[in-house]
Amino acid sequence: MINKKIKVLIVEDSILFVTILKEILVKNNHFEICGIVKNGLAATEFVSKMRPDVITMDINMPVMNGYDATREIMSTNPTPIIILSANIDETDINDTFKALEAGAVAIIEKPSACDSPDFHLYEKRLVQLVRLMSEVKVVRRIDYKNRRREYISRSFFSDTEISNNIEVIGIGASTGGPVVIEKILAGLPKDFSFPIVIVQHISKGFTKGLVEWLNHSSAIPVKLAENNETITKGVCYVAPDDAHLGIIKNTLMLSDSKPLYNMRPSVGFLFASLANNYGNKALGILLTGMGRDGSEELKALRDTGAITIAQDKESSVIFGMPGEAIKLNGASFIYTPDKIINFLEGLNTTKNK
């Protein structure tokens, strides 16, 4: 039996980057480049006729940019879209996160020259990402901001044993995570009474842009975590590029120790830190993402008596990390993003009584 190849549409106006992408994808027997177009308008027209399995989308293009093209495609012919962006260009980065909000499933930096020392690592990451995103069978544009909220009954917090001694909240996410994190932070009140610490897997160079994008809609301030920084309630701290993030005695600790699950920063590093230093005074939340980073450590955190939450399958772009945690019985609760917000609002109300 012959395996069906994954049909890839390349949307890119640079001949150089087209050449590099072709070199990466053509030599991989899993892919077939079904089209190459130079702007977003051409991409929307191509998708309506040819229906590729996955799209690599540039952001800065003539006629129609990648953000507008993503928004159009996701509203008419939903297709997995991977944004390729120049992480040194502020305009590109801003439009990249807007494209994620419009329905793109992942971002990765544009490739460097084929003879660069790290090119083989980039090649491996891109191939894995294209393969995995093509397997997202049903891609829906989830309009988190405008869709009807799901609520947990307020009696839940009085009728169940929900500890009110929580001192810190840790959140881990990978593919699909930025949009969910943006939704959660935007739903929290200004008087939120807990510090939040986040590890988001994202291509190097995009973390600063992520923080800036989150600050546009978050009611609480969002900042890059700094070494030896004391955490403050109502502030959100995001792990910087290429550094693990942990907490000891309300102090953030950055580490350049070896990657965990091939990741640095690692969600597992953060959750292990919470388990070791806070136990049942921490709340751990594991969101959408590929792989299993953080799943065992979420279980270890739950074993200390802490509350742990995993995102549900339906709302996850990739159900890898939360799914693995659920298999291990590492999640106290399995919630949609709306219910995670409601849960945090309930904790805050209880804390402020």
Active site residues: 174, 201, 293
**Sequence-separated (6 or more) residues with CB below 8 Å from residue 273:** 245, 246, 247, 248, 253
Separation between Cα atoms, residue 207 and residue 242, nearest integer Å: 10
Contact between 233 and 220 (Cβ < 8 Å): no
Structure tokens at 215: 């600050």
DSSP-derived 3-state class of residue 26 = helix
Strands (E), the chain: 6-11, 31-37, 54-58, 81-85, 106-109, 168-173, 196-200, 222-224, 236-238, 244-248, 251-255, 282-286, 307-311, 333-335
Separation between Cα atoms, residue 170 and residue 344, nearest integer Å: 12
What are the phi and psi torsion angles at 55 (to 5°)? Answer: -125, 135
Separation between Cα atoms, residue 247 and residue 229, nearest integer Å: 9
Closest CA to 236 of 318, 137, 170: 170
